[in-house]
Structure 1
Amino acid sequence: MADSRTLDDVRADVAACRRCPLCDGRTNTVFGNGDPHARVLVVGEAPGKNEDKQGEPFVGAAGRNLSEFLEIAGLKREEIFIANVLKCRPPDNRDPRPDEICACAPFLREQTRLIDPEVIVTLGNFATKFILKTERGITSLHGQTFMAGRFKVFPMFHPAAAIYDRTKRPLIEEDFARLGEVLRAGGASASAEGAAPVDAR
């Protein structure tokens, strides 16, 4: 992979990709957007129906919630970079197969390399398990800082969870407040358990 590659190059590859059936039935190719020099890379779930219609990540109510929660961390949406785990997913939102995930994984790796974030925030079970290579759920992992290679990873409940379950909102707000603390400290406030990769059991 040439060092001269840019996010636009990756976006073009994503738009042209037809490696697996995930492309079938989709209206738009959804690719991440935001600040290419962001300190925070937010990894969401594979795009759903609203994202498919508009071709953008985090639109509608989930997007509004994300913006509200980012403010708690002292961030604006334009100051982060949003990347989906997968570039596409069928409108029926079926779970992607492992081979389909593998087909899309290089696109996420390239975005991470090009942005080189200080912290990767994973939203929800799917993104967290994908990044941390763990079977542990978001309920036990959220709000802690872990390592994935050289990157600090901060798992959180997906902003959409606050729409469907009001009990999740205070937890999400607490997690974003902690993210703000981590960023203000230059990432130095990772917990002791966050100094090592997550236990995959």
Structure 2
Amino acid sequence: MNVQRPHIPLEAIRAEVAECHRCPLCEGRTQTVFGVGNPEARVLIVGEAPGKNEDLQGEPFVGAAGKYLNELLAVAGLARDEVFIANVLKCRPPSNRDPRPEEIQACAPYLREQTRTIDPEFIVTLGNFATKFILKTDVGITRLHGTLQRAGRFKVFPIFHPAAALYDGSKREALENDFTTLGVLLKS
């Protein structure tokens, strides 16, 4: 059954969650990036916290990782305007360490609001932090990537972060295989 969702302009979504930058866990960021894309998308892609390029340009997945993500989306039969990309996990510590439970908990309300607003069929988590955040697990991306999981009513598909393949060429094949699998899942 296809449920009609009310359209909420992306500017309204950004405005609603913009106050997250007041969170003390996010200090030092020049700007917080929530998300861009199609609010009616079947696929919500949740990435790691925004980096320097995202902060400067105000959009998630720019630069080399963004270009590679576009290529990977094409492998799955998707274009960037057919998904919603969220860097809702803004509280990731700058030191790149795994977050403490209280840090994950601080971001949880924003993620819940995101999934309610976009209401995706699939949530694709990119990287270890996003996967642990969404699935509420200690199991890492190395074990979970490419396997369909459940988080409540959502189908969750963990995948390595595209930036990982830029630094570690051995992950490139796994990423491409996982996006191929995502394309198959979307067609079934």
1:90 Cα deviation after fit: 6.2
Checking the alignment, whether the CA contact within 8 Å between 2:48 and 2:92 is kept in structure 1 is: no
In the alignment, which of 10, 15, 23 is matched to residue 18 of structure 2?
15
Compute the displacement of 1:101 (Å): 2.6
Q: Secondary structure at the match of 1:108?
A: helix
Q: Secondary structure at the match of 1:140?
A: helix
SS state at 1:56 partner: coil
The residue number in structure 1 matching 2:180 is 177
Counterpart position of 2:111? 108
Shift of residue 22 of structure 1? Answer: 2.7
Is residue 21–residue 32 contact of structure 2 (8 Å, CA) maintained in 1? no
Is this contact kept in 2: 1:46–1:85, CA < 8 A? yes
Q: Kindly state the Cα deviation for residue 121 of structure 1 after the two structures are TM-superposed.
A: 0.4
- The equivalent of 2:152 in structure 1 is 149
In structure 2, distance between residues paired with 1:68 and 1:124: 17
Secondary structure, aligned partner of 2:162: coil
- 1:34 matched residue in structure 2: 37
Alpha-carbon distance between aligned partners in 2 of 1:98 and 1:56, rounded to the nearest angstrom: 27
2:63 paired residue among 57, 60, 72: 60
Could you list the runs of 5+ residues in structure 1 that have no partner in the other structure?
Answer: 186-201
Q: List gaps (5 residues or longer) in structure 2.
A: none
- Identity over the aligned pairs, expressed in percent? 71
Alpha-carbon contact 1:24-1:90 (below 8 Å) kept: no
Number of equivalenced pairs: 183
2 CA distance for matches of 1:23 and 1:172? Answer: 29
Aligned counterpart, 1:121: 124
Give, in whole Å, the separation in 2 of the partners of 1:13 and 1:99.
22
What's the CA shift for 1:103? Answer: 2.3
| Residues 48, 93 of structure 1: 8 Å contact kept | no
Does 2:186 align with 1:163?
no
Deviations 1:135-173 (A, max 9, x none): 111111111101110010000000001100111101100
- Higher mean alpha-carbon deviation, 105-114 vs 123-132, is at 105-114
Between the aligned partners of 2:95 and 2:174, the Cα distance in structure 1 is 29
Q: For residues 18 and 138 of structure 1, what CA distance do their matches in structure 2 show?
A: 27
- Of 139, 147, 155, 1:136 maps to 139
CA distance in 2, matches of 1:124, 1:94: 13
SS at match of 1:22: helix
Distance (whole Å) between structure 1 residues aligned to residue 82 and residue 6 of structure 2: 23
Between the aligned partners of 1:25 and 1:31, the Cα distance in structure 2 is 16
Tell me, yes or no, if the aligned pair for 2:33 and 2:88 is still in contact at 8 Å.
Answer: no
SS at match of 1:160: helix
TM value normalised by structure 2:
0.88
Residue 83 (structure 1) aligned with residue 86 (structure 2): yes
- Indicate the RMSD between aligned Cα atoms, in angstroms: 2.1
